[in-house]
Amino acid sequence: MLLPALIYFIVFCYIPMPGAYVAFVDYNLKKGIFGSEFIGLKNFEFLVKTGQLWNITKNTLLYNLAFLIIGNVFQIILAIMLSEVRSKWYKKVSQSVILLPYFISMVIVGYFAYNLFNFDHGFINSLLNSL
C-alpha cells in the first residue's frame, strides 16, 4: 500500500525540485541548471522592485477564484439540467459524452492533436492552405 504513495511523491514532489533551484540562478541554457551562476534572491528582488509582484499575485488569485466560481456554477447548472431530463436514453448519452474525456488516454489525445496541428500534413494547416 505504500508503493503508490511513494511513487506519487517521487514523481510529483521530488523530481520537480531542481526546477525550484532555477529561481535562484542566472539560468543559461548552455550551462544547464546546475552549471548556471547562483545569484540568490536577485530574481525576486527584481520582481519586487518593478512593483509587479502585487499585481501578479492579485491577478493569480482573481483568476483562480473566477475559475472556481464559474466552474462550480456551470457544474451545478449542468447537474440540475441533467436531473430534470425525462428521457433515460438522452440522460445516459449526455453523461457519457461529458465523462468521455476522463477515460481517453493522453497518448490518444496527443496523437489527435499532432494530426490536427502538424505543420506538413495536419488537418488544420491543410484546411488553411486550401483557402
Mean pLDDT score of the chain: 88
Same domain, 101 and 123: yes
Does residue 38 contact residue 24 with C-beta atoms inside 8 Å? yes
47, pLDDT greater than 90:
no
Same domain, 114 and 92: yes
Classify residue 59: in a domain, yes or no.
Answer: yes
1, pLDDT greater than 70:
no
80, pLDDT greater than 90:
yes
Domain of residue 32 covers 11-50
Same domain, 42 and 69: no
Same domain, 28 and 41: yes
Counts of helices then strands in the chain (DSSP H, E): 7, 2
75, pLDDT greater than 70:
yes
Residue 14 confidence (pLDDT): 83
Helix (H) or strand (E) holding 28: strand 25-28
In percent, how much of the chain has pLDDT > 90?
21
Backbone angles phi, psi at 32, to 5 degrees: 85, -175
123, pLDDT greater than 80:
yes
Give the chain's domain count. 3
Same domain, 131 and 102: yes
